[in-house]
Structure 1
């Protein structure tokens, strides 16, 4: 059985319109899918190394956004307050002194392609750096505590290509 020419033309037109609508709808549906990339800087991991005069801690960051600000503060006893109104806590790894870092604006995702992969508490056996601990992730502020041995001074820098935060703790 054969359809008349007008029926075939109508069927072809319906298929063409349906295909065009499907193509037009697909991007709109994709746009509503949650984006897995970081809106702010994502801190990906922390790595350490020892040099003759200093120990180095590097935080690797996502590359698609501007560098965050980093504030550093010495702490004699390793106490910190996570979040806005949390109770006073102490770093888990003992040290002779402590350096607290506040990275803003930033985030540390727990899963996905931009996840922070270093353990929240990471012991380190270097001359001046004894441990690194994530102390909080609250409203765009990421906190880290560094447990230190004997040291004379520290320097915090942000570098690009690739984006990273570098903390040098001198012996």
Structure 2
């Protein structure tokens, strides 16, 4: 059995001139600094809050986009969701003068009806950008509050949801050799596509509270899934990314199988790599691509 660390995938001075000299510290304090991100469900909506030290950023832009792009590098940033909101604050920082991040994890997951995930996509040249992955494209409202300074995004949640479970690696069970090595946690998804919703929530990973209890998502370098079909008791999952087991006997497949087999319509799970390959595509059995073998 490999050490648990080997299983867990690695995830991703202003100046002024004038008649009077202004201390550098005062200039820095004049720039709004993000100090917290939080979200919660309220009646009919999910509320996402960005809290700042100092004033509210003067320029705020929130819009739906087809993909998320990292500021500076131009690389694509993965976020789980059927719709993506880009949230941009111009003239704001997410770090202190020593370069330390001031708002906590750069990526976080929520077990909310609409909001799935929030990821940082840039803190570059006084522009702070995030992406929010949503379960569906919904109306939203943006407004500000003071004392403390906050930018609030209310995302409508008009759809009925049902509870399902996403199964993550339980590090305590794994380290002590207890089967199963996974623990299922509740997530709200929109029917009738409950299997798709459960798999989507799996790839979003555990919440911060669940991580504190030892739950982890082992990606095996899968970046997501492009397609899921369920027919005649067989679920077929087509993964994206360059899959590898890393020599481990526990892979992303060990989380996908229990997540999908909770549904009565699924008896077997066949997992395909990005090239469309799996070892046993036919017959009554589970199957994984060769790249997920130890």
TM superposition score normalised by structure 2: 0.42
Deviation (angstroms), 1:34: 6.2
**Aligned pair in 2 of structure 1 residues 51, 135: CA closer, same or farther (>3 Å)?**
same
Larger Rg: 1
| Alignment counterpart, residue 56 of structure 1, candidates 32, 38, 47 | 47
Render the CA deviation track for 1:96-116: whole Å, top value 9, x for unaligned.
Answer: 01000110110011577x952
**Aligned pair in 2 of structure 1 residues 126, 41: CA closer, same or farther (>3 Å)?**
same
The runs of 5 or more residues in structure 1 that have no matched partner are 1-32
- 1:87 aligned onto 2:78: no
Output the aligned Cα RMSD: 2.5
- 1:39 aligned onto 2:60: no
| Alignment counterpart, residue 123 of structure 1, candidates 109, 128, 131 | 109
Contact 1:128 / 1:150 at 8 angstroms: preserved in 2?
yes
More strand by share: 1
- Matching of residues 17-166 of structure 1 within 5 Å: 35=25, 38-63=29-54, 65=55, 67-76=57-66, 78-83=67-72, 86-91=73-78, 93-109=79-95, 115-166=101-152
**Aligned pair in 2 of structure 1 residues 38, 108: CA closer, same or farther (>3 Å)?**
farther
Contact 2:33 / 2:93 at 8 angstroms: preserved in 1?
yes
Count of matched residue pairs: 135
Contact 1:132 / 1:147 at 8 angstroms: preserved in 2?
yes
Deviation (angstroms), 1:151: 4.3
Deviation (angstroms), 1:79: 2.5
**Aligned pair in 2 of structure 1 residues 148, 60: CA closer, same or farther (>3 Å)?**
same
- Matching of residues 5-24 of structure 1 within 5 Å: none
**Aligned pair in 2 of structure 1 residues 52, 111: CA closer, same or farther (>3 Å)?**
farther
TM superposition score normalised by structure 1: 0.69
Deviation (angstroms), 1:160: 1.2
What is the distance in 2 between the residues matched to 1:103 and 1:81?
14
Deviation (angstroms), 1:153: 0.4
Deviation (angstroms), 1:159: 1.4
Q: Any runs of at least 4 consecutive aligned residues in structure 1 with deviations exceeding 6 A, and if so which?
A: none
What is the distance in 2 between the residues matched to 1:152 and 1:135?
21
Choose between structure 1 and 2 for higher RCO, CA contacts under 8 A separated by at least 6 residues. Answer: 1
What is the distance in 1 between the residues matched to 2:56 and 2:121?
23
The runs of 5 or more residues in structure 2 that have no matched partner are 1-22, 158-294
